[in-house]
Amino acid sequence: MAAAVMGFGAPAAGLAETLKLGGTGGALGTINILGVAFAEANPGVTVTILPSLDVLILDLRIPVINGLDVFMALKKQGRKVPTIIVTGYADEEAAAIKTLLQEKASGCLIKPFDPLKLLEAIEATKDSTG
C-alpha cells in the first residue's frame, strides 16, 4: 500500500523533513509542479513524487498551503484518494475539519494520538475501498 504523508513537525536533530506527494495522469503533473515549488521555497525539505497513492495522511497545518486547500485541490482534479486528516489544533480547525468530513475525508485524528489509531484508520480506508 502506497501512502503519502503531508505534514510537518520539527525534524529530529540533523535530519531534513520529507514530503511525499503522489498522483496519476494529469494530476501527477500538477502535483510535480507543486512539489518542485514547495522544495524551492523550503530548502532542506526533500520532496518525493510517487506515481500513485492508496491513502493520504494530511496534516491541516503545513507550510505554504493548508491541508484543506490541498484536499480541495485534489478533489477538484478528480483525485479520489482516501484521506486521513491529522491536526493538533482541533478547536482552531473545527470548521476545516467539519468541511473535510463533509467532503468525504476518511477520518480525522487529533494529535497526539496513539499510533495504533492511525493504523486502524488506514485499515478502515482499505475496508471502505475494497
| Dihedral pair phi/psi, residue 107, rounded to 5° | 170, 180
Out of 14-18, 97-101, 118-122, give the one with best mean pLDDT.
97-101
Report, in angstroms and rounded to the nearest whole number, the Rg of the chain calculated over CA atoms.
14
Structure pTM? 0.63
Q: What is the mean pLDDT of residues 98-112?
A: 94
Chain mean pLDDT for the chain = 75
Distance CA 112, CA 123 (A): 19
Count the neighbouring beta carbons within 10 Å of the beta carbon of residue 9: 9
Domains in the chain with CATH codes: 3-8+16-129 (3.40.50.2300)
Specify the range with the lowest mean pLDDT, choosing from 85-89, 90-94, 105-109, 120-124: 120-124
Q: How many CA atoms lie within 13 A of 4 on its CB side?
A: 23
